[in-house]
Amino acid sequence: MSGAQQPGGAASSSLRDDPAGVVFAALADPTRRHVVRTLATGTSATASGLAGELPMSRQAVAKHLAALRTAGLVEAERAGRETRYTLRPEPLAAAAGWLTATEQAWDARLGRLRERAARP
Amino acid sequence: MADVVHREIVLPVPRERAWELLTDPRELAEWLADDIELEPAAGAPVRAAWDDGVERTGTVDAVVDRAGMRFTWSDGEDLSEVTWTLQDAPGGTRVVVEERLLVPAGAWGPTLAAGPQMAALSRAAVLVLA
């Protein structure tokens, strides 16, 4: 991850140690979500290839890929003259952990609240 | 995907009773946590403990009488902001719950205890993450 660009100061080094917040920040952008969905099909892609299906330049896509790389969501690999990007799903799972735990906690609490409200 | 949990339920009680269920510690102990300290007043401390050993502490940020409340709480690892909103609804009172992750676990190192410092740091984190 060293040397990865930090567009807009997306992550401080201390925050990068834990993926959840950085992952959420990286996925707050619709273009980056599109890139993640595309890479989630299991194939690798180049910035040029992704730019071909998005209404933006290769440079703009490269910037988004750098942000995703900072968040640990994509991996870059040089293949000859081009750089190919693949998805790293682990940070997504870690980020989903907080959501799942919090959702389950509120479902249980609100279930008890509903029961309490039904009693006189 | 977002770092917000959103839940809504309609309780078959009038607004006054719904507010009591959400703000009276004796009622909160029936559904929110096993041991609870919470007062509907801005700046008041929040403490919720569960029998499994988990404890979250924090502060009430804002209260609108019988309409809603916002507080931040932390288990010493992550820090999040909870908003409760009450609305009149057919058949009773709608309660909307939102919990937003402000600082993920591990972001500030494992030794930092929950407290006012944590809340101040969370504001900085929101700026960094924005």
Please tell me the distance from the alpha carbon of residue B2 to that of residue A105, in angstroms, as a whole number: 17
Best CA proximity match to B65, nearest among B23, B31, B25, B7: B23
> Which residues of chain A form beta strands (DSSP E)?
74-79, 82-87
Element (H, E) at B47: strand B45-49
Render pLDDT for B82-105 as a digit per residue (tens, 0 to 9): 999 999 999 999 999 999 988 776
Closest residue on chain A to B5 (Cα):
A103
Average pLDDT of the residues of chain B: 84
Does pTM surpass 0.90?
Answer: no
List the domain boundaries for chain B.
Answer: 4-129
Render pLDDT for B33-86 as a digit per residue (tens, 0 to 9): 999 999 999 999 999 999 989 999 999 999 999 999 999 999 887 889 999 999
Is residue B6 left, alpha or beta, with left meaning phi > 0 and alpha meaning psi from -120 to 50? beta
B30, B92, B103 member nearest A116 (Cβ): B30
Q: CB–CB of A114 and B9 under 8 A? A: yes
Render pLDDT for A13-68 as a digit per residue (tens, 0 to 9): 333 444 566 777 787 788 888 888 888 877 888 999 899 888 889 999 999 999 99
Alpha-carbon distances, residue B80 vs A20, A105, B23, B127 (angstroms): 13, 14, 19, 15
Q: Give the pLDDT score at A39.
A: 85
**Which of chain B's residues have a Cβ under 8 Å away from the Cβ of A19?**
104
Q: Nearest CA of chain B to the CA of A59: how many Å?
A: 22
B119, pLDDT greater than 60: no
The CATH classification of domain B4-129, taken from the options 3.40.50.10240, 3.40.50.2300, 3.30.530.20, 3.40.50.720: 3.30.530.20
Q: Which two tokens stand for residue A20?
A: 């959840």
Read off the pLDDT band of A2 (50, 70, 90).
Answer: very low
Q: Give the pLDDT score at A7.
A: 40
Rg of chain B's alpha carbons, rounded to an integer?
A: 15
The CATH number given to A7-118 is 1.10.10.10
Q: Give the pLDDT score at A20.
A: 64
Say whether B78 sits in a helix, a strand or coil: coil
* Type of residue numbered B86: L
Q: Give the pLDDT score at A42.
A: 75
The answer, for A19 touching chain B at a CB cutoff of 8 Å, is yes
List the domain boundaries for chain A.
Answer: 7-118
Q: Which two tokens stand for residue A36?
A: 């993640």
